A and B are shown apart, each in its own frame.
Chain A
């Protein structure tokens, strides 16, 4: 409960209390005149009663306690058990004064005169009431004990609850499902509905409750809390709550296994038991039947497996004689008993063994019965288990799972590799598969090394991997030298592993997220992005804003009430305006908060790049330095998820085609190792991701030639093209399918896909390059897809929205300052000349003839142009919804936005307006 609401309540109560006191005063005075008038006594009683009830609710506990005493006295008077005397009225009047004082107090302190009044009142009572005897008071007697049970016991206990609602329970307004939910909220509840009383559909009355439930509940809340769930339905239900006998076992199993899982286990084991018994019986008839034996064996095996898995899930250790471990051991014993007879040349199963199998089945069934009933229970003969030779050799719990996983993996891999060496020595089998197994183990080892943060393992592992890769690729047998280096590297791995003591020294932590941050090139955590991990601070802020919103909402009912009561309109209007302003401020904050939750650092998309670059560089024989900047810049989660693939593509192109080989670089007078820079930065309401290399750069002439060859542009257009414009040809779809052209460095591969991916994100991409010095690709993205800022404008008498992220500049200039040059209108804006297009013309509307031109300078990829409109209206924030139902083909619009007043306004896509302009120009 927010303290604001409480404060409002206190204020509201005080106002009413003062009215009630006046009422009380006047009734008491009238009572002094007309002693004993029952109607007056009643009025006095009601006033005090209301003061007590409302006061307690508003948090005036002290007042409630005091008025309770006063009320008791007047209740007697009301019932005629106490004479209305002058003393009584006098006490009442004094009580009024005390109440006024209490209302003025903020602390829960006794006020002047209070004790006198109480004493005087108690003397009036037949059996002198004590004060402040603080009988726990009505509040404490309320059946609401949701708190922990006495003693604050948190020990888990297992209960069996049987809940049989009366048929008519629904007519009391109660719903058994809420009761079951109540139990679920206390702990792990295994609920089984009992359906045998449900009649045939024909005679079923839907308003009756036929179901009843058995619930096994593990909770630390205690019996009182369980009873409290049913406090309102005691009369409508038959209820029994009992502690289960085998507490330890029941708590262990029911408390840690999800109900669905246990249900599934029971159902499957039921089937398996049936199968086992059937097969054991048919084996008794035909002891030589391998089919029966195999089926029996598989059944027992599955039973053992299931019990084992369930055991693994149980957190607390189970007692030795609990049915579950016994079940596991019994099936394990039976399995070993049957195993010797399974081979093709094994003897038939002796009758004695079949008998034991059948007995074991019986025992297992008994065990299972008690387990299925309440996950606990009494126990069958341990002698049988002895006969089966079953040992309690079940799962050992490792100190830390993580280091256990690491040790398990490394020892498995080391063994496997050792065996591979052996197989290679023997030389009597094909080497390929052996090398594959070897390589797989090395990879697994290197995963384990990363996982446990053992960087010292990396070098020897990488060395082996390199030799194995080469050997597998070439298919040639290992040379003597290679064999020796493999052996040496492997030995060094073994000795490093030996040095790591079982506790897992080296810089190891139990939680990967706490691990010290290492150089980005070494970092490769598996990132799961389907969930969002939210900064606690962001969440707290959101909660606070939501709280404010709730409080602000509280103002409206009061205003409605004022209006209904006919308060003066101007005053209400003022209040309404204030309330509106508060809501709009809060919703603004709410938006920012929610948006910030969707924002993630670009690091999540950059993470995989270092490894990519390293692998690429190695396979291409290049030396590459990767520089990453601005990892902390945040982008919307959706955008981040979708930018990954284009980014990989672009980086690959940079390393593969952009950078030269070390000899080429040396020949060009450059550092032999090339540099690729991946940089994120804020820019004009969006984020720019730049991938730059210091490689050979693009060849504009070659690009033009290629484009003309593929008939993507005319020869004239190509000739007129600036170098910068020529670079953008790389994004044309046709160019990418062309065979690799060395002097264009094949950079076109897939760039059209990159561009369309980025456009789908409302982003733009442009390329800059300088021959011999390198190439830079700039991807400009909005920070969020959901909400964007835009300019509301008018063109040709219609309203449109232009996203702010596309706008570089906005100017107003006299019409005369735009010059017509051939069929192009040009204007100079801040020292630069731009082609100007009228939006109305582009959209086929009639532009207005304003004396001044309103121009937005718009960025579309590499080029900028001016868009002239009738006028700019205002800047606003809009939620852009994509166009659907065929309208999505109108590429000049990226969507539509709904305005505050409900109108729909189209949102322009500056990029595609650009294309309209190009088609116009082409005509």
Chain B
């Protein structure tokens, strides 16, 4: 079973994302922000990261950079959840090492479509 780490400060969004992903047969680890996520990673086997951009403590871009800088996770797909559909945010995300992005709000089908596109 593939494991996905989902990072979001909104409890309901986190919960909904998890619900959709679990419903599609993925294993989900939840974290509330970048700092929490890094501590939860801690060398675990991981197939994908799904992270919000706008979060307290450590934002999504910084978190993405940290994950990419960890040798174990240097090839892990990272998908950004963003309300901003502007091109520059995507560019920034890409530069930080993100693989793909989803623009909020999205419906469950859209989420799964992106996940499937990124995960083998």
**A residues touching B (Cβ–Cβ < 8 Å)?**
1-2, 5-6, 8-9, 12-13, 15-17, 46, 49-50, 52-59, 61, 64, 138-139, 141-144, 146, 170-175, 177-178, 181-182, 207, 229, 231-232, 235, 550-551, 553-554, 557
Partner of A59, one of B25, B103, B107: B107
Partner of B76, one of A56, A144, A173, A550: A173
In the complex, which of the residues B12, B109, B119 has the most CB atoms of chain A within 10 Å of its own CB atom? Answer: B12
Q: Contact between B105 and A55 (Cβ–Cβ < 8 Å)?
A: yes
In the complex, which of the residues A15, A56, A144, A551 has the most CB atoms of chain B within 10 Å of its own CB atom? Answer: A144
The CA-CA distance from A52 to B83 in the complex, in Å, is: 9
Contact with A along B73-109 (1 / 0, CB 8 A): 0111110010101000000001001111111111111
Q: Contact between A56 and B117 (Cβ–Cβ < 8 Å)?
A: no
Known contacts A138-B85, A178-B117; A557 and B12 CB within 8 A of each other: no
Q: Which residue of A lies closest to B74 (CB)?
A: A171
Q: Is B23 an interface residue (CB 8 A)?
A: yes
B10 cross-chain contacts in A, Cβ below 8 A: 16, 50, 53-54
Partner of A170, one of B19, B75, B98, B114: B75
Q: Contact between A1 and B109 (Cβ–Cβ < 8 Å)?
A: yes
The CA-CA distance from A172 to B104 in the complex, in Å, is: 22
The CA-CA distance from A181 to B119 in the complex, in Å, is: 11
Chain B interface mostly:
mixed
Q: Contact between A173 and B78 (Cβ–Cβ < 8 Å)?
A: yes
Q: Contact between A54 and B118 (Cβ–Cβ < 8 Å)?
A: no
Partner of A232, one of B18, B101, B111, B112: B101
The CA-CA distance from A513 to B84 in the complex, in Å, is: 57
Q: Is B3 an interface residue (CB 8 A)?
A: no
The CA-CA distance from A442 to B108 in the complex, in Å, is: 64
Q: Is B22 an interface residue (CB 8 A)?
A: yes
A-B contact pairs, 20 of them (CB 8 A): A1-B108, A2-B23, A9-B20, A9-B108, A15-B12, A49-B83, A50-B10, A57-B13, A57-B107, A58-B16, A138-B85, A138-B103, A139-B106, A173-B77, A173-B98, A178-B117, A178-B120, A182-B117, A232-B118, A557-B28
Chain A interface mostly:
helix
A64 cross-chain contacts in B, Cβ below 8 A: 105
A53 cross-chain contacts in B, Cβ below 8 A: 10, 13, 81, 83, 104-105
For the complex of A and B, the 3 pairs showing the least CB-CB separation, nearest first, are A56-B105, A173-B99, A16-B12
B13 cross-chain contacts in A, Cβ below 8 A: 50, 53-54, 57
In the complex, which of the residues B15, B68, B74, B109 has the most CB atoms of chain A within 10 Å of its own CB atom? Answer: B15
Q: Is B110 an interface residue (CB 8 A)?
A: yes
Q: Contact between B98 and A172 (Cβ–Cβ < 8 Å)?
A: yes
The CA-CA distance from A170 to B103 in the complex, in Å, is: 23
The smallest C-beta distance from A508 to any residue of chain B, in angstroms, reads 46
Partner of B12, one of A5, A46, A49, A58: A58
In the complex, which of the residues B11, B18, B107 has the most CB atoms of chain A within 10 Å of its own CB atom? Answer: B107
B94 cross-chain contacts in A, Cβ below 8 A: 172, 235
B109 cross-chain contacts in A, Cβ below 8 A: 1
Q: Contact between B117 and A57 (Cβ–Cβ < 8 Å)?
A: no
Q: Which residue of B lies closest to A139 (CB)?
A: B105
In the complex, which of the residues A55, A58, A170 has the most CB atoms of chain B within 10 Å of its own CB atom? Answer: A58
The smallest C-beta distance from B93 to any residue of chain A, in angstroms, reads 10
In the complex, which of the residues B22, B75, B104 has the most CB atoms of chain A within 10 Å of its own CB atom? Answer: B104
Given contacts A12-B12, A138-B105, A139-B105, 18 further A-B pairs with CB under 8 A are A9-B19, A12-B15, A12-B16, A50-B13, A53-B10, A54-B16, A56-B105, A57-B16, A57-B108, A141-B103, A144-B102, A144-B114, A170-B75, A171-B68, A173-B77, A173-B100, A181-B120, A232-B117
Q: Contact between B97 and A171 (Cβ–Cβ < 8 Å)?
A: yes
A13 cross-chain contacts in B, Cβ below 8 A: 12, 16
Q: Contact between B75 and A178 (Cβ–Cβ < 8 Å)?
A: no
Q: Contact between A57 and B105 (Cβ–Cβ < 8 Å)?
A: yes
Q: Contact between A557 and B18 (Cβ–Cβ < 8 Å)?
A: yes
Q: Contact between B12 and A56 (Cβ–Cβ < 8 Å)?
A: no
A142 cross-chain contacts in B, Cβ below 8 A: 85, 102-103, 106, 110
Q: Which residue of A lies closest to B81 (CB)?
A: A53
The smallest C-beta distance from A902 to any residue of chain B, in angstroms, reads 23
The CA-CA distance from A12 to B83 in the complex, in Å, is: 20
Interface residues of B in 28-61 (CB under 8 A from A): 28, 54
The CA-CA distance from A55 to B106 in the complex, in Å, is: 9
The CA-CA distance from A146 to B106 in the complex, in Å, is: 14
The smallest C-beta distance from A530 to any residue of chain B, in angstroms, reads 29
The smallest C-beta distance from B22 to any residue of chain A, in angstroms, reads 6
In the complex, which of the residues A56, A138, A142 has the most CB atoms of chain B within 10 Å of its own CB atom? Answer: A142
Q: Contact between B104 and A57 (Cβ–Cβ < 8 Å)?
A: yes
B108 cross-chain contacts in A, Cβ below 8 A: 1, 5-6, 9, 57
